[in-house]
Amino acid sequence: MWGLELLIPLLLIIKDVSGQWNVWVPRDISAMTNSCVVIPCTFMYPSGIRPYRGIHGIWYFGQPYPQLFPPVVFKSRTDIVHESYKGRTKLLGDLHQKNCTLLISNIGTEHSGRYYFRADLGGANIYTYPDFSELKVLDQPNIDIPEEIVADENLELTCYAPDNCPENSPEIQWMYTDYLPEPEYTTDYVEESNTAVLSNTLSFIPRPMHNGQLLGCRVFYPNTTLVYERLISLDIKYAPRSVWVNVSAEVMEGTSVTLHCEVDSNPPPRISWLFGEEELLWDTASNVSLSLDDVRPAQEGIYTCVGDNGYGAMNTSMYLAVSYPPREPVVNGSLTVLEGSSVSLHCSTQGGPAPTLTWLKNGELVGTITAEQLSVLELLEITPQDDGLYRCLAENEHGRASSSLNITVEYAPVFLEESKCTVVREGVQCVCIATGNPEPTIEFFLPDKNITINDTDGRYNYYTHTDGHTSTGMIKLREKGERLGNGAVNVHCSISNMYGSESVHLELQQEKKYMMAVIVGTIGGVAVIAFIIAAVRYVGHNNKKENGNPGQDLVSKLENPALYYSAVKKDKQNLRKKVLKTELLGSKFNSILEESTGEEGDYQSVGSLADLERQELNYAALEFLGGRSRDGGASGRGDERSDYSEIKAK
């Protein structure tokens, strides 16, 4: 396609119209290896010079100074050229027409460089033009690639092939385009500075998935074996499209853990690890790992990995759970509350996983079991039964902890049903028992005597005792005048504390054990008296036979005897014998009563036989002193004044 006729118009493009030494050549020209290239050339010389012996020309490679012996590419006078150009060069232009166009065939990359033309007009009119044409010999086609390829933005790639060889014209094909989304191709032919370039432009919209994939441009010359290819890898810039981190993890307190983060983006992003709003670590890389040593519960929470490469940002979070036994629960301080009021008991703790909270009162479950870090126990209309030790127990799979508090309930005093008066051997014992907080004070009042008993009194043996919130008061009434005629007593008990007071009349109740003793004693006493009467009658009957009727007075006295005896008491460990001396008809006899007795103490007069029936007697023995035995003298004493013999009853 290149012809000399195309060079003729170039002769008219002369800058130096005054005819000075001048040359025009393309500053840059290219060709494919093993092909050919034509370097267009037009020269001028001063118009006043007449060529001597014709016009000759020389092409140098590398530099224009002959004295430096540059390689000769072409010489019109002779065929002497540099060895690398032998048989490869040919002058296409007519020097007489000032056309110095040069053809170089079968070129190689070693032929790349600057080419200078030297005109020889004969004699001293020899001139080497300083302007040059720089040849670039290519072994593969050029692909024009944008400095930046951004995903999802239209991309144009242009492949160039020089068309400066008149013997062959190139063709261009794109390779590895099957995966591209809707590619488009455009061919163009550009002639500039008397050089020609064939181009083919590929257009498509790249995706992040195309990053790193290959594309190729192939240049070939039909009907030849000349084929040139160039492969490129697509460097597609895209914002982070995925951020991978560990799945949420659970670690034990005091152990170590490593959190990994990997970001898919181009170029590699700035990766930062955040805990809340605090940046813990950053680096520019495709992956970054965060190491946590000796993990504490305070480090539990959300960890976020952020990737930012200037084209966009993306983040992903994970939750790091720290397992540890429950901490000691925080509860209210011990409380003192008034009966009828309400109170809320709070219990909070920390643990991993969240512990269950249980309220216990004196070891027993109260309320409900909660699986939260705060538990509230509501106590409404508090009663004295709510008084006690409350414990909040926190438990999880790694351990347990607890805290306690005391609830003290203050309330007005209340009588207990055990308050009463009871008949005992010493008299009447009155007991008053009350509970309250603060502990109630106890007073006894005898309205018949208008006496208030609130301190130790020898007559009443006033006694008090406090056990917790229970107070006990006791008195003993010893005198007959302190009882009513029908055996009842008139005793009032008063209790009081800062929240109230109350008074009650104490009822008289018979003591069961004492009543049983009275019943048994009465039966025994009656039996003894009956036995005595029978014995006396028997003796009197015998004496009557012997002495007439002297025992009549004896019988009359036996029927109404005057008995004097002392009282007896129970003793759980010993049996005590009391000798009762009795005078009967001027004679003395001993009556022995054996019974259970109590501690040493005062003895009160029982009184008449009616009173005797209240005593507990097991048996009695009567001994007639100074008597005569029935066999008439077995005793050894011959007292004829004795009216009876010795009688014993057991």
Per-residue pLDDT of 61-119, as tens digits, reads: 999 888 889 999 999 988 889 999 999 999 999 999 999 999 999 999 999 999 999 99
The confidence score (pLDDT) of residue 507 equals 86
Is 378 within the bounds of a domain? yes
**Interior angle at CA 56, CA 51 and CA 57, nearest 5:** 130
The CATH number given to whatever domain includes residue 173 is 2.60.40.10
One-letter amino acid at 168 equals N
Q: How far apart are CA 568 and CA 577, in angstroms?
A: 9
The confidence score (pLDDT) of residue 534 equals 77
Residues of the chain with confidence (pLDDT) below 70: 1-19, 456-459, 478-488, 510-522, 524-526, 528, 536, 538-650
- Per the structure, how many domains does the chain have? 5
Half-sphere exposure of 594 (CA within 13 A, CB side): 7
Whether 30 and 100 map to the same domain: the answer is: yes
The confidence score (pLDDT) of residue 369 equals 86
Q: Look at residues 298, 321, 344 and tell me which one is the last residue of a structural domain.
A: 321
Is 106 within the bounds of a domain? yes
pTM of the model: 0.55
The confidence score (pLDDT) of residue 100 equals 95
Whether 251 and 341 map to the same domain: the answer is: no
- The helix (H) or strand (E) run that includes residue 119 is strand 113-120
Among 571, 623, 578, 625, smallest CA distance to 601 is for: 571
Q: Look at residues 117, 138, 159 and tell me which one is the last residue of a structural domain.
A: 138
CA dihedral 494→498→499→504, nearest 10 degrees, is 0
For 395, phi then psi, to 5°, come to -140, 140
Whether 190 and 297 map to the same domain: the answer is: no
The confidence score (pLDDT) of residue 391 equals 95
Whether 425 and 505 map to the same domain: the answer is: yes
Beta-carbon contacts of 547 under 8 Å, excluding residues fewer than 6 positions away, are none
Q: Enumerate helices (H) and strands (E) in the chain, giving the number of each.
A: 4, 46
Whether 288 and 249 map to the same domain: the answer is: yes
Whether 101 and 120 map to the same domain: the answer is: yes
Whether 115 and 129 map to the same domain: the answer is: yes
The whole domain housing 305 covers 243-321
DSSP summary character for residue 99: B
The confidence score (pLDDT) of residue 522 equals 62
